[in-house]
Amino acid sequence: MKQFVYLFLFFSLAVQTITGQRLSERMIKSAATEAYPGGLKDLMNFLKIPNIGSEPDQVGRNLNWCENKFTSLGFRTEVIETSSAPLLFAEKRVSPKKKTVLFYLQIDGQPVDASEWEQDDPFIPVIKEKGSDGHWKTVDWDGKGIPNPEWRLFGRSASDSKGPAMAFITAVQYFHEHRHQPEFNIKVVMDFQEELGSPSLPQAVTDNRDLFDADMVLIMDGTRHISNWPTLCYGARGIATARIRVFGPSTSLHSGQYGNYAPNPVFEAARLISSMKDEEGRVLIRGFYDGISLSEKDKKALGFLPENEDSLRLRLGIHKRDAIGDNYQESMQYPSLNVRGLQSGWVGKEVRTIIPDVVDVEIDMRLVPETPGERMIQLLRDHMEREGYYMVDDTPSPEERAQYSKLASLDYRLGSLPFRTEMDSETGHYLNKALSRVFGEKVVNMRTTGGSQPIAPFIKTLDIPAVSVRIPNPDNNIHAPNENLRLGNFLEGIITCLAILNEPLK
Amino acid sequence: MKQFVYLFLFFSLAVQTITGQRLSERMIKSAATEAYPGGLKDLMNFLKIPNIGSEPDQVGRNLNWCENKFTSLGFRTEVIETSSAPLLFAEKRVSPKKKTVLFYLQIDGQPVDASEWEQDDPFIPVIKEKGSDGHWKTVDWDGKGIPNPEWRLFGRSASDSKGPAMAFITAVQYFHEHRHQPEFNIKVVMDFQEELGSPSLPQAVTDNRDLFDADMVLIMDGTRHISNWPTLCYGARGIATARIRVFGPSTSLHSGQYGNYAPNPVFEAARLISSMKDEEGRVLIRGFYDGISLSEKDKKALGFLPENEDSLRLRLGIHKRDAIGDNYQESMQYPSLNVRGLQSGWVGKEVRTIIPDVVDVEIDMRLVPETPGERMIQLLRDHMEREGYYMVDDTPSPEERAQYSKLASLDYRLGSLPFRTEMDSETGHYLNKALSRVFGEKVVNMRTTGGSQPIAPFIKTLDIPAVSVRIPNPDNNIHAPNENLRLGNFLEGIITCLAILNEPLK
């Protein structure tokens, strides 16, 4: 990557663009470099609009921003009302003879705990560079020069996924400003509740079949392969979440008065959690991996990707990996069971000497097409019953408390469905052609990625092949404090989108 | 109990008090009833001063209140500065020929989480009565009539321990206003950081031996025996606390990207917690119960107390008790291990789909004289090392992360020491005489209570027998939301203190 980034910093050639004429590799890279500082400024302004999907006011402000932007780029826009937050649709028709690509943009971000961030406000993005001491230091970019591609932009949604959305918008804007025509009709759908699992997307797709109809869906979301090469991903795991509440005494009790007498539910919950996985990280819930088999061909393709797991483990700060599959890529072909949150009583400054009354265990399960969410939740419930739990719907009654020593409730939600598009397909070939034109051999094709994408409705309802085009650096802290986007990745994201807009689709 | 409470609601006899003349049982009860409404109003005002021991401003306001109160009752007061919050000392000498009793009052309370309380503010006390539907409803007491003893006062420190302190103050005030002379010289020490483990009390006692010197220490703190009979308690468990942090990946990770690859520390922590206790609640840490043996005589005395464990379990909402000792009282003669708080990632509305980076496990261990805190903490640490943990002092280095799969830190604090005063002693006989005069047979003598009291310094440094005089109802939710004091207990607390002030001490 570095080679050509530094190379075209020296380009002074003014790029000549003519409507309908295709751009060469060199012209694409030069165009991207030209558009990059402006795109970055736009992105920084966009990030300043907080974007928690559960906040209607924030959804509204982001939707307005997107509507204005796409209108200014010559798109027709349409707000699609749903039972939760609206979606925004935008369309630019080039020619009825051309095919159509639907781009999916995720505009909302994960909630933030500002106290955990190394900047004042996760919604005031900051450019930083890594000092020789390994710490990130704020850079005072003048807004004019070409920003160093090794700098990073820190802020909520920098990489997930306003950054990728803005790479696409910057490319579209370049075409628009230079009156250059894309090689296909463009449709765009913007989702403001992806992090909530896109609750209304499936119904909206069903209700708007014709509007969303296209020859291909490109999802501008997700993180690149750990090699940080441009990445195409043909499948994503789905997700189901569950909250288990393990019940102890009916109220929290003084640990002096009742310690040694009233059982503490933390020990019960700990035994339950322990029963779910072995020490190697393999799930012990009966039937959890049923139906999955990787062929030798699949395993070979997965093992082919350029991965250095020693450096990955070092980067993650782990001694050994969970023993699922033979390598990172294989592990993503299986469903996972994760405790994403755990709480009982109070810790730190708030600590108090009590026997807690409940333990909350927040679970997420990543799903593959072979393991639908309903079945997996049922397996979890069956497991708990086998472990001796009496399952209640709500807080147990005094009678239930008197009768059963193990009491728990389980609430769940089914999120995005898993999906897979064939890699060896017209869509796959087309995208590889576009990307290899600018990146050569260094394009990663991934069978399945670990994270979820609410894309299954397009595939299931409209029968359109879908692929995610991945831009952000893998060490981007998504969903966590200090989320960031490497600026070189943003620049390459613009190149990627220009290359696709520029590739004839037959 | 109910019999005589209701009985003296009908007393209309004006109590005649004459300096130096002792009160009869009937006069004590009548005096208490007379003083009760005013004492309750005083208590409600006192509770309105927030009293978190870590807040110097709150400590100061409570100290001023106490200083004014005791000065108004003819006491000499003295602020004892320490390296943390000050203590307040108050003294009233009756005669150099008389013996001296030191009363210990706890003025601070546990932190509050107001959202968990069924009232607007835990520091605005509310009187409630139980409706026929079992729910507590606010009572609008006019401040004049005799409050129903079945009503309860809800608020932080109502029972732990401003309520008991105020029962004592009300009794002293009655003696003062009626110019009636106590049967001994009175010393009072007020602690504003008991819930923080009274960090400066031991040094203050050592530095002020003469000031604190007395023939007996009475601790006005702790909850009554579960029979809710007037209770004398001769020993208390001590406490040591520890925070274990189990380390996972160096930052929290996206559970989609890394679920099945990066081990989740919650499973490791769950196995560690599970390893500490068996399913019956017995601690499995090697050596944990060493040195404890209950004689047949001890077991008989403990089994003698009027306890209905079926109804206790029903009240606590538990199916079975932990299998330590043969009954509730026996279980308190052993050290306990409790997980008082547990946290990893986020739960509820804040939940996010990550693999957490750390798990915090807050532990408290209740101690008996045979199991000193230093040794117990070392046993815990040894246990973790036997479980395969590499112990770090701080966040592990990248090298440590690469080398060890189980990483944890352990911080600890030694709190109150355990103590026991002989039940069969002059002190025991004196207190039983005073209390049986007003309560007859229904006085409970407990060998050890479960909670800690920072009283060991008095016993160890000054060699004074110490007993805690217990007033609040056992179902008072101390240390938890909706802490409350049954008003009948407050009234009986005043009777108790009057009876003691009235009992000649030879």
Final residue in a domain of this structure, among A369, A387, A414? A414
Number of domain units in chain B: 2
**Is B252 inside any structural domain?**
yes
Residues B196 and B258 in one domain: no
Contact B450 A262 (CB under 8 A): no
Grade residue A272 by pLDDT with cuts at 50, 70 and 90. Answer: very high
**Is A311 inside any structural domain?**
no
Residues A223 and A268 in one domain: no
Give CA–CA dist B443/B440, Å, rounded. 7
Give CA–CA dist A248/A256, Å, rounded. 16
**Is B325 inside any structural domain?**
no
Cα of A471 to nearest chain B Cα, Å = 15
What is the residue-averaged pLDDT of chain A? 92
Contact B17, B179 (CB under 8 A): yes
Residues A159 and A275 in one domain: no
Contact B262 A344 (CB under 8 A): no
Give CA–CA dist B43/B304, Å, rounded. 35
Final residue in a domain of this structure, among A360, A388, A414? A414
Among candidate residues B80, B129, B55, B108, the one with its CA nearest the CA of residue B479: B108
The 3-state secondary structure of A161-209, one letter per residue: CHHHHHHHHHHHHHHHHCCCCCCCEEEEEEECCHHHCCCCHHHHHHHCH
What integer pLDDT is reported at residue A143 of this predicted model? Answer: 86
Residues B10 and B35 in one domain: yes
Q: A388-393 long-range CB contacts below 8 Å, 24 or more apart?
A: A389/A272, A392/A247
Helix (H) or strand (E) holding B380: helix B373-386
The residues, any chain, with a CB within 8 Å of residue A189's CB and separated by 6 or more, are: A87, A88, A89, A102, A103, A104, A105, A212
Cα of A264 to nearest chain B Cα, Å = 7
CB atoms within 10 A of CB B116: 12
User: C-alpha angle with apex A30: A27 to A33, nearest 5 degrees?
Assistant: 150
Grade residue A198 by pLDDT with cuts at 50, 70 and 90. Answer: confident
DSSP state of B93: -
Residues A249 and A127 in one domain: no
CATH of the domain at A124: 3.40.630.10
Cα–Cα distances (Å) from B478 to A76, B117, B150, in that order, read 64, 13, 18
Among candidate residues B304, B366, B377, B317, the one with its CA nearest the CA of residue B340: B366
CATH of the domain at B352: 3.30.70.360
What integer pLDDT is reported at residue B433 of this predicted model? Answer: 96
Contacts of B405 in chain A (CB under 8 A): 318-320
Among candidate residues B421, B427, B415, the one with its CA nearest the CA of residue B452: B415
Token reading at B190: 């007020």
Among candidate residues B337, B341, B340, B336, the one with its CA nearest the CA of residue B448: B336
Contact A450 B257 (CB under 8 A): yes
Q: Which of A195-209, A438-452, B238-252 has the highest mean pLDDT?
A: B238-252
**Is A74 inside any structural domain?**
yes
Contact A262 B449 (CB under 8 A): no
Lookup result for tokens 């130096």: B20
Contact A332 B113 (CB under 8 A): no
Contact A163, A71 (CB under 8 A): no
Report whether pLDDT(A248) > 90: yes
Contact A352, B284 (CB under 8 A): no
Residues of chain B short of pLDDT 70, as ranges, are 1-20
What integer pLDDT is reported at residue A19 of this predicted model? Answer: 54
Q: Read off the pLDDT of residues A353-380 as tens digits, 9 standing for 90 and up.
A: 999 999 999 999 999 999 999 999 999 9
Report whether pLDDT(A448) > 50: yes
Helix (H) or strand (E) holding A216: strand A216-219
Q: Which residues pair with residue B136 across a beta bridge?
A: B130
Half-sphere exposure of B476 (CA within 13 A, CB side): 33
Contact B318 A262 (CB under 8 A): yes
Give CA–CA dist A280/A284, Å, rounded. 11
Contacts of A262 in chain B (CB under 8 A): 316, 318, 321-322
Give CA–CA dist B356/B32, Å, rounded. 57
Q: What is the percent of chain A where pLDDT is above 70?
A: 96
Residues B343 and B445 in one domain: no
Contact B46, B155 (CB under 8 A): no
For chain A, the residue count is: 506
Token reading at A425: 């397909």
What integer pLDDT is reported at residue A287 of this predicted model? Answer: 98
How far apart, in Å, do the first and last CA atoms of chain A sit? 30
Give CA–CA dist A367/A337, Å, rounded. 9
Q: Read off the pLDDT of residues A226-242 as tens digits, 9 standing for 90 and up.
A: 889 999 999 989 999 99
Give CA–CA dist A177/A73, Å, rounded. 8
**Is A93 inside any structural domain?**
yes
Contact B340 A355 (CB under 8 A): yes
User: What is the longest distance spanned by two Cα atoms in chain B?
Assistant: 82
Final residue in a domain of this structure, among A382, A414, A446? A414
Residues B167 and B244 in one domain: no
Cα of A335 to nearest chain B Cα, Å = 8
DSSP string, B428-465: HHHHHHHHHHHHTT--EEES-BSS--TTHHIIIII---
Lookup result for tokens 């700060």: A317
Contact A448, A301 (CB under 8 A): no
Contact B345 A341 (CB under 8 A): yes
Give CA–CA dist A31/A25, Å, rounded. 10
Q: Which residues pair with residue A367 across a beta bridge?
A: A238
Among candidate residues A241, A240, A283, the one with its CA nearest the CA of residue A417: A240
Cα of A173 to nearest chain B Cα, Å = 31
Residues A373 and A266 in one domain: yes
Contact B266 A342 (CB under 8 A): yes
Residues B66 and B175 in one domain: yes
Amino acid at B451: G
b/e per residue A390-413 (b: at least 16 CB within 10 A):
bebeeebeeeebeebebbbbbebe
Residues B229 and B135 in one domain: yes
Helix (H) or strand (E) holding B422: none
What integer pLDDT is reported at residue A502 of this predicted model? Answer: 97
Report whether pLDDT(A486) > 50: yes
**Is A312 inside any structural domain?**
no
Structural domain for B38, as ranges: 2-236+418-501
Amino acid at B121: D
Q: Read off the pLDDT of residues A41-100 as tens digits, 9 standing for 90 and up.
A: 999 999 999 999 999 999 999 999 999 999 999 999 999 999 999 999 999 999 999 999
Residues A24 and A144 in one domain: yes
3-state secondary structure of B106: strand
Handedness of CA B54, B60, B65, B70 (dihedral sign): positive
Of B276, B340, B343, the CB nearest to A353: B340
Contact A467, A447 (CB under 8 A): no
What integer pLDDT is reported at residue B19 of this predicted model? Answer: 54
Cα–Cα distances (Å) from B37 to A330, B70, B487, in that order, read 74, 19, 10
Contacts of A261 in chain B (CB under 8 A): 321-322, 324, 328, 331-332, 450
Contacts of B452 in chain A (CB under 8 A): 256
**Is B309 inside any structural domain?**
no
Give CA–CA dist B268/B407, Å, rounded. 10
Token reading at A123: 């919604």
**Is B440 inside any structural domain?**
yes
CB atoms within 10 A of CB B40: 26
Peptide bond into B161 cis (omega under 30): yes
Residues A458 and A375 in one domain: no
What integer pLDDT is reported at residue A1 of this predicted model? Answer: 41
Grade residue A454 by pLDDT with cuts at 50, 70 and 90. Answer: confident
